[in-house]
Structures are given as C-alpha cells and as structure tokens.
Amino acid sequence: MKSLLLAATLGCMTCLAHAAQPANPTPPAVAAKVALRGEPYGVRVAEMRIVRKNDILTVQADLENTVRANRTVFYRFRWLDDMGNQVGDGESWKQMGLYGLQLQTVKSVAPNSSATDLKLEMNVEQK
C-alpha cells in the first residue's frame, strides 16, 4: 500500500514537472535574453531575432506553447545600453493569449539608437 502511494505521488510530481517545463526548452542562447518569472507552464521562447534597422534595434521573439491547454503570457522588453543601463522609461506590460500548441511572434523596437541589448521579461499563467 505504501509503495503504491509513493508511486502515485512520484507520478503526480513527474506530471507537474512536465507541465511546468516544456519538452523542448528555450535554447540557451535565447534563454540568456529571457527573464522568466515563475514556471513556464509549457511555454518557451523558440527563437529571437535581433536586427538593427535604420540605427534602431528591433527584436522579434517567437513564443511557443508546447502544450494543448491555452496559456496567458505577460511580457515586455527591457532595452539596455552597452553599459547595461536601461534605455528609456521601460515598456508597458502586455498580455497575450496563446492557444494550445500555438506559436506567436511578438516584436518591439528600441526607443532610441543607444540601445544595444535587451531582456524579455515574462511570466506565464495557466488560465
């Protein structure tokens, strides 16, 4: 009986771990630019493309929901200069719904040409 309970508990914990971590997590190079608060609940940043257009840094990030349940993502980009200081006043937080197994691209443009780096701040809600 005890071993059965232990097995069930371990099984649940494995399920929770799978729900929290996508099977194919955010690639390390992209993860270095992501500041994730809390659990990803199956959402990963599949790709991030950073391009300087007309002397202004622009970014596109592909957010992928790897599970079948819908997810709500809150995100914003934080722009940094070459000293690591924040550029501008900071973006507003945005809410975005991600359907099950959906990939959605979010984009942003730096507020001025002094931005040389960025961080994607995000957290994921299960509902």
- Whose tokens are 């959402």? That residue is 43
Can you give the binding site for another protein, defined by CB under 8 A? Answer: 53-54, 56, 58, 74, 76, 88, 90-95, 107-113
Is residue 65 within 8 Å of 98, Cβ to Cβ? yes
Give 25 or 90: the residue with its C-beta nearer to another protein: 90
Give 13 or 56: the residue with its C-beta nearer to another protein: 56
For 11, what's the count of Cα atoms within 13 Å in the CB-facing half-sphere?
6
CB of 94 to another protein, least distance (A): 6
CB of 36 to another protein, least distance (A): 17
CB of 11 to another protein, least distance (A): 30
Strand partners, 67: none
Is residue 31 within 8 Å of 115, Cβ to Cβ? no
Give 3 or 54: the residue with its C-beta nearer to another protein: 54
Amino acid at 109: V
